[in-house]
C-alpha cells in the first residue's frame, strides 16, 4: 500500500489578543506537532472534543490554512507551503466536506452550478459534457438528477449534505477530508449519509479523513482512528484495537462517556467521569496536556510531554498507558 498523506510535526498557532499596547500577543496553540499517515483508500477517523484541533487539522491538510510549522506531503508531493495557484491542480485530488451543509453552499447558485464548480475552477471539460457528469454525480449521491436546476434552500439538510458530497466527488479525488459531515443532521438522516460516504469510499477507493466528535459515528466509518486532545494526537490505532482496548486514559474516558442505548448494558459498563473542562489552548498544561484531568497523573506527566510510541497494536502518547 502506498501513502496518500504524510503529516510530520504539523503545527498551527493562531495569534490571540494582546494584553497591552506593546505587550506580547497570546498564541493559541490549536494544533501542536501532529505526526500521522494515511494510506491510499484508507478511512481514518479524527476524534476529540471541541477545541482539540481536529477541524484545524482538516483545514491545514486541505491547505485552507497556512501551517505554522511541520510538513504535509500529499501523494508524494510536499504541499506545506504551496500558494493558492500552486494548489489548484492538487485540489482535484484533495477535497473537503463541511459540517454545515447550508453555509457551505452558495444560496444563489443552482445545484448544477455548485456541483459543476470544480470543473469550472479547474478548467476541466468532463467526458460527455459537464451537465451529464453533474447529473451522474447527483445520481451517485442519491439525489434526483432532474433537480439540477434547483437551489439549495429547496433541499433538506441531509440532501444538502449530499450536494456537498457530490461537489467533493466531482473530480474523483484521492483524499476527502470530511469535517463533522453528519453532526448537523437529524438522527434518521445521519445513518443515510454515513452509509453513502462508506459506499463511496469503497466504490471509488477514496481515502477519507473523517473528523467527528461522536465516537460511535467514527467507529462505523473509519478503519483507523486517531484521538486528539488539546492540539495533540494522544492515541492512534486500528478501529477494533482502539475501541476494545483503549490505551490512553483520555480515550478510555471518552469511550466511557458515550451514553449507552441498551438499558441493560448501562450498569455493567465501567464509568469514568472526567472532572472540569478542557484547559485553554493559549496556556496548555506543561508536559502531558491531559494531566490536569487525568486520574493517573504523576510528577513526570507535568515535566515531560509523552511521545507517541508504539505499544502493542497502538501508538500512544502516555507515561502510564493502560
Partner 1 sequence: MFNYLLRRIVSGIIVLGIVSAIVFGIFFILPADPARLSCGKTCSEEQIVKIRHALELDQTLPIQYGRYLKGIFVGRTYLKGTTAELHCSAPCLGYSFQTDQPVTQLLKDRLPATASIAFGASILWLLLGLSSGIISALRRGTWVDKFSQGVALGAASLQIYFVGLVLQFIFVNKLAWLPAPGYSSPLHYPVDWAKQMALPWITLAFLLSAIYSRLTRAGMIEIMGEDYVRTARAKGLNNRTINLKHVLRGAITPIVTVFGLDLGGLLGGAVITEYVFNIPGLGKLSTDAVANLDLPVITGTVIFSAFFIIVANVLVDLLYAALDPKVRIQ
Partner 2 sequence: MSNFLEVKNLSVSFPTEDGVVRAVDNLSFTLEKGKTLGIVGESGSGKSVTSLAILGLHKGSSAEVSGQILIDGQDINAKPETDVRLLRGKLMSMIFQDALAALHPYYTVGNQIAEAYLVHNKVSKSVAKKRAIEMLDRVGIPNPQKRINDFPHQFSGGMRQRAMIAMALSCNPSLLIADEPTTALDVTVQAQIIDLLRDLQKEFNTAIILITHDLGVVAETADDILLMYAGKEIEYGTVRDVLQKPQHPYGWGLLTSIPRLTGDPNKSLAAIPGTPPSLISVPSGCAFHPRCSYVSRVGTACSATIPELLPVTSGAHHLVRCHLDATAREEIFKNQVGPNL
E strand or H helix that includes residue 15: strand 3-18
Question: Residue 168: CA atoms inside 13 Å, Cβ hemisphere, count?
Answer: 30
Please pick, from the candidates 69, 86, 149, 156, the single residue that binds partner 2 as defined by CB under 8 A.
156
**Considering CB distances under 5 to 8 angstroms, the limit depending on partner class, which of partner 2, partner 1, none binds residue 234?**
none
Q: By CB under 8 A, what part of segment 1-20 binds partner 2?
A: none
The residue written with cell numbers 503545527 in the block is 11
Q: For residues 14 and 148, which CB has a smaller minimum distance to partner 1 in the complex?
A: 14
Strands 309-311 and 314-316: antiparallel
| Residue 137 to residue 196: CA distance in whole angstroms | 13
The grid coordinates of residue 238 equal: 486500528
Closest distance to partner 1 from the beta carbon of 25 (Å): 13
Closest distance to partner 2 from the beta carbon of 316 (Å): 19
Cα of first residue to Cα of last residue in the chain, in angstroms, is 30
Question: Is 73:5 a contact under the CB 8 Å cutoff?
Answer: yes
| Residue 169 to residue 156: CA distance in whole angstroms | 20
Site string for partner 2, 30-69 (x = CB under 8 A): -------------------xx-------------------
Applying CB under 8 A, does 266 fall inside the site for partner 2? yes
User: Which one of the spans 36-44, 166-174, 257-265, 299-307 is the region binding partner 2 (CB under 8 A)?
Assistant: 257-265
Q: By CB under 8 A, what part of segment 4-33 binds partner 1?
A: 17-21
The residue written with cell numbers 506593546 in the block is 22
Cβ count near 139 (within 10 Å)? 12
**Considering CB distances under 5 to 8 angstroms, the limit depending on partner class, which of partner 1, partner 2, none binds residue 99?**
none
| Residue 87 to residue 226: CA distance in whole angstroms | 26
Closest Cα partner for 40 from 72, 76, 88, 71?
Answer: 76
Applying CB under 8 A, does 313 fall inside the site for partner 2? no
User: Which one of the spans 90-98, 162-170, 183-191, 297-305 is the region binding partner 2 (CB under 8 A)?
Assistant: 183-191
Closest distance to partner 1 from the beta carbon of 19 (Å): 7
**Considering CB distances under 5 to 8 angstroms, the limit depending on partner class, which of partner 2, partner 1, none binds residue 19?**
partner 1
**Would you tell me which residues interact with partner 2 (CB under 8 A)?**
49-50, 156, 158-159, 186-192, 194-195, 198, 213-217, 219-220, 239, 243, 253-266, 273-275, 277-278
Amino acid at each position: 500500500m502506498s501513502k496518500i498523506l504524510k503529516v510530520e510535526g504539523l503545527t498551527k498557532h493562531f495569534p490571540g489578543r494582546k494584553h497591552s499596547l506593546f505587550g506580547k500577543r497570546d498564541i493559541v496553540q490549536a494544533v501542536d506537532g501532529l505526526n500521522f499517515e494515511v494510506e491510499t483508500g484508507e478511512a481514518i477517523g479524527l476524534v476529540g472534543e471541541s477545541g482539540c484541533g481536529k477541524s484545524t487539522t482538516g483545514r491545514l491538510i486541505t491547505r485552507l490554512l497556512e501551517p505554522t510549522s511541520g510538513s504535509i506531503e500529499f501523494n508524494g508531493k510536499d504541499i506545506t507551503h504551496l500558494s493558492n495557484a500552486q494548489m489548484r491542480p492538487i485540489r482535484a485530488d484533495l477535497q473537503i466536506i463541511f459540517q454545515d451543509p447550508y453555509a457551505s453552499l452558495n444560496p444563489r447558485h443552482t445545484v448544477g452550478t455548485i456541483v459543476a464548480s470544480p470543473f469550472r475552477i479547474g478548467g476541466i471539460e468532463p467526458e460527455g459534457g459537464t451537465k451529464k457528469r453533474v447529473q451522474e454525480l447527483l445520481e451517485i449521491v442519491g439525489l434526483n438528477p432532474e433537480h439540477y436546476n434547483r437551489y439549495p434552500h429547496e433541499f433538506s439538510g441531509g440532501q444538502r449534505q449530499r450536494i456537498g458530497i457530490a461537489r467533493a466527488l466531482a473530480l474523483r479525488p484521492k483524499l476527502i477530508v470530511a469535517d463533522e459531515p453528519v453532526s448537523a443532521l437529524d438522527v434518521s438522516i445521519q445513518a443515510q449519509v454515513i452509509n453513502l460516504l462508506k459506499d463511496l469510499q469503497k466504490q471509488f477507493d477514496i481515502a477519507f479523513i473523517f473528523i467527528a466528535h461522536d465516537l460511535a459515528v467514527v467507529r462505523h466509518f473509519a478503519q483507523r482512528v486517531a484521538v486528539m486532545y488539546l492540539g495533540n494526537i494522544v492515541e492512534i490505532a486500528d478501529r477494533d484495537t482502539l475501541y476494545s482496548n483503549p490505551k490512553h486514559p483520555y480515550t478510555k474516558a471518552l469511550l466511557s462517556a458515550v451514553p449507552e442505548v441498551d438499558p441493560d448494558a448501562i450498569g455493567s459498563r465501567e464509568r469514568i467521569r472526567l472532572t472540569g473542562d478542557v484547559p485553554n489552548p493559549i496556556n496548555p498544561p506543561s508536559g502531558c496536556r491531559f494531566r490536569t484531568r487525568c486520574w493517573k497523573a504523576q510528577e513526570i506527566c507535568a515535566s515531560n510531554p509523552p511521545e507517541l510510541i508504539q505499544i502493542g497494536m497502538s501508538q500512544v502518547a502516555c507515561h502510564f498507558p493502560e
